[in-house]
Amino acid sequence: MKPDIPSPPGYEAIEDITITLQAELDHKTVPFEQLVNLSVGSVLQLGRPTGENVDLYAENVLLGSGEILIVDSTLAVRIADLKNKPTETKLPSTGKGPSIAH
């Protein structure tokens, strides 16, 4: 388990705000006729190949992509990349403990 990462200076006032995260496997546009004919057991074939990363969104804004995992019998997503963020980021030091790089 990773230790809590301290907020960069100036973020203390907003660090308790909750953000909705979504992992999107794929999306599909179907004719209305196909929609009304769906029933339990129907199969919707998606266009994304197996093994491809899912898209990650924060409040409907594309954040990056991730790999689907199973952790303790539940689905999880491992971050594979973050949009517009270098792969190695060092948070500024607050002077109140060690700096954490990830």
Residue 16 structure tokens: 């308790």
What CATH code is carried by the domain that includes residue 69?
Answer: 2.30.330.10
| 75 inside domain | yes
Collapsed DSSP state (helix, strand, coil) of residue 66: strand
Q: For the chain, where are the E strands, in sequence order?
A: 21-24, 54-58, 61-71, 74-82
Question: Are the C-beta atoms of 24 and 55 separated by less than 8 Å?
Answer: yes
| 62 inside domain | yes
What tens digit of pLDDT does each residue of 30-63 get?
A: 999 999 999 999 999 999 998 899 999 999 999 9
Provide the residue range defining the domain that includes 73. 18-26+49-84
Residue 26 structure tokens: 């794929």
| 70 inside domain | yes
What tens digit of pLDDT does each residue of 1-30 get?
A: 455 677 777 788 888 899 999 999 999 999
| 65 inside domain | yes
| 12 inside domain | no
